[in-house]
């Protein structure tokens, strides 16, 4: 990244609710925190609302949350509850969740019981796809829209949703155009910087980010290639919102040129196909994208997507990272690793905490993996 913009973007990830969100709130907007990729971001990003993907940057431990959540609950949800109980998420004006896993459901329950937010909404999420599931999910989104209108006094009609979807697509198109620079034999952006940009876009007002992304894209056009690397890698797996993890991988010479993460590009940077019925368009988009292992019947689609992306970006190997105690990815990882290896792709599976720890061990694993693939 161009240095002045690099620092500006990185600072947005230092706190759970950043200064751009605070500026929007000072102008009258309401900040809505959300916890999962299945929450339709444009729906909570209509005029007057700002969606904020929830993180717990710098969390050092979860002593408060461990009083209420089991130690075998995923560390992401425990970290969020810790921040909520510690007042670090107090700037939020509302919360929206999906029942995507038992861990997030328990987080919602405890948040509702202990913190008692004025607006705390749970979206029921089907486990299958199809006409009935689509109608169910669309009805759930209509209930959320009604709740937002009643509580925050905003309009969530077809025009407002269409405007929010167009803004979302504009941001997605810009990020995609930068991400495609990683296809080059000599990329001008590292995986760490790109993940920083994508994550910052998830936790900040879209309109404010679009101008910044445009400047970064202009700075990257024609810029010099990054230092040479030993191998092109893809990173796949569960919740990862700390670019520092990718930085550790890249410090060993493994350039991350593609990713499939909750805070990532595969499915996360897909455009939303806008129709005359924006609610149904949102339901179809977020329900049918091949993303989360909770949709067990879509396993083969996820494998095909990863293989196709590996070929498109010419990766030398894939790192599958699984956050400790993540039920969805814990079940997915073994058959996924086998399927990718059967397709002839070298794969390394690693387990990690939510917070960045064990850097030296990760470096050793990455070093050995690169050597095993002849890099």
User: Which residues on adjacent β-strands are paired with residue 97?
Assistant: 122
pLDDT at position 59 over 50: yes
Q: Per the domain annotation, does 127 fall within a domain? A: yes
Picking from 222, 178, 221, the residue whose alpha carbon sits closest to that of residue 200 is 178
Whole-prediction pTM: 0.93
**pLDDT per position as a tens digit, 123-179:** 999 888 889 999 999 999 999 999 999 999 999 999 999 999 999 999 999 999 999
Q: Which residues pair with 258 in a beta bridge?
A: 234
Asked whether residue 98 is domain-assigned, the answer is: yes
3-state SS assignment for residue 36: coil
Task: State how far the Cα of 375 lies from the Cα of 50, in Å rounded to an integer.
Answer: 44
* Token pair 């959540």: residue: 69
**Residue 67 counted as domain residue:** yes
pLDDT tens digits along 289-313: 757 888 888 899 999 999 999 999 9
Q: What is the CATH number of the domain that holds 103?
A: 3.40.50.11890
Instruction: Work out how many domains the chain is built from and give that number.
Output: 1
Rounded distance, CA 133 to CA 262, Å? 22
CB burial of residue 227 (10 Å; 0-12, 13-18, 19+): exposed
Cα–Cα separations (whole angstroms), residue 251 to 6, 166, 187, 338: 18, 37, 16, 27
pLDDT tens column, 344-356: 999 999 999 999 9
Cα–Cα distance for residue pair 314/339, rounded to 1 Å: 18
Distance, in Å, from the CA atom of 312 to the CA atom of 231, rounded to the nearest integer, reads 15
The whole-number pLDDT of residue 5 equals: 56
Residue 68 placed within a domain: yes
DSSP 99: -
Evaluate whether residue 215 is within a structural domain. no
Is the distance from CB of 205 to CB of 20 less than 8 angstroms? yes
pLDDT at 189: 92
> Among candidates 91, 53, 19, which has minimal Cα distance to 168?
53
Distance between CA atoms of residues 12 and 26, nearest Å: 17
d(CA 92, CA 52): 9
Q: How far apart are CA 9 and CA 96, in angstroms?
A: 25
- Position 374 pLDDT exceeds 90: no
Q: Which of 287, 234, 284 is nearest to 261 (CA)?
A: 234
Using only C-alpha atoms, the chain has a radius of gyration, in whole angstroms, of 20
State the residue range of the domain holding 22: 14-154
Return the SS3 of 96: strand
Q: Are 186 and 257 in contact (CB under 8 A)?
A: no
Q: Alpha carbon of 230 to those of 37, 100, 190, 227: distances in Å? A: 32, 37, 13, 10
Instruction: Read off the pLDDT of each residue in 243-265 and give the average, rounded to a whole number.
Output: 92
- Quote the CA–CA distance of 205 and 79 in Å, as a whole number: 23
Indicate whether 119 belongs to any domain: yes
Identify whether 248 is part of a domain.
Answer: no
Strand, helix or coil at 318? strand
DSSP for 214-241, written as a single string? HHHHHHHTTPPPPPP-SEEEEEEES---
**Does 207 map to a domain?**
no
Q: Which residue has the higher pLDDT, 307 or 4?
A: 307
SS3 percent helix, strand, coil of the chain, rounded to 5, is 50, 10, 35
Is pLDDT above 60 for 2? Answer: no
């Amino acid at each position: 990244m161009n240095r002045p913009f690099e620092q500006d973007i990185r600072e947005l990830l230092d706190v759970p609710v950043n200064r751009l969100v605070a500026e929007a709130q000072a102008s009258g907007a309401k900040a809505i925190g959300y916890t999962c990729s299945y929450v339709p971001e444009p729906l909570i990003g209509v005029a007057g609302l700002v969606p904020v993907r929830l993180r717990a940057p710098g969390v050092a431990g979860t002593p408060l949350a461990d009083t209420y959540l089991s130690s075998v609950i995923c560390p992401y949800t425990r970290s969020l509850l810790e921040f909520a109980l510690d007042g670090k998420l107090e700037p939020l004006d509302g919360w929206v969740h999906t029942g995507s896993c038992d861990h997030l459901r328990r987080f919602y329950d405890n948040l509702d019981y202990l913190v008692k937010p004025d607006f705390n909404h749970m979206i029921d999420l089907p486990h299958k796809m199809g006409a009935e599931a689509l109608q169910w999910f669309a009805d759930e989104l209509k209930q959320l829209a009604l709740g937002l209108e009643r509580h925050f006094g905003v309009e969530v009609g077809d025009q407002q949703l269409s405007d929010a979807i167009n803004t979302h697509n504009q941001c997605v198109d810009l990020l995609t155009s930068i991400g495609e620079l990683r296809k080059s034999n000599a990329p001008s952006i590292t995986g760490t910087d790109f993940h920083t940009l994508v994550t910052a876009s998830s936790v900040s007002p879209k309109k404010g980010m679009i101008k910044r992304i445009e400047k970064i894209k202009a700075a990257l056009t024609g810029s010099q290639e990054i230092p040479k690397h030993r191998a092109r890698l893809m990173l796949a797996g569960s919740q990862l919102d700390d670019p520092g993890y990718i930085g550790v991988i890249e410090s060993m010479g493994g350039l991350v040129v593609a990713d499939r993460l909750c805070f990532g590009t595969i499915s996360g940077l897909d455009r939303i196909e806008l129709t005359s019925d924006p609610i149904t368009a949102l339901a179809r988009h977020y329900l049918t994208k091949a993303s989360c292992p909770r949709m067990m019947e879509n396993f083969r689609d996820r494998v095909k997507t990863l293989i196709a992306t590996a070929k498109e970006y010419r990766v030398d190997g894939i790192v599958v990272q699984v956050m400790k105690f993540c039920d969805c990815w814990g079940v997915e990882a073994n058959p996924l690793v086998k399927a990718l290896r059967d397709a002839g792709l070298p794969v390394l599976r690693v387990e990690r905490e939510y917070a960045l720890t064990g850097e030296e061990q990760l470096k050793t694993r990455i070093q050995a993996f690169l050597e095993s693939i002849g890099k």
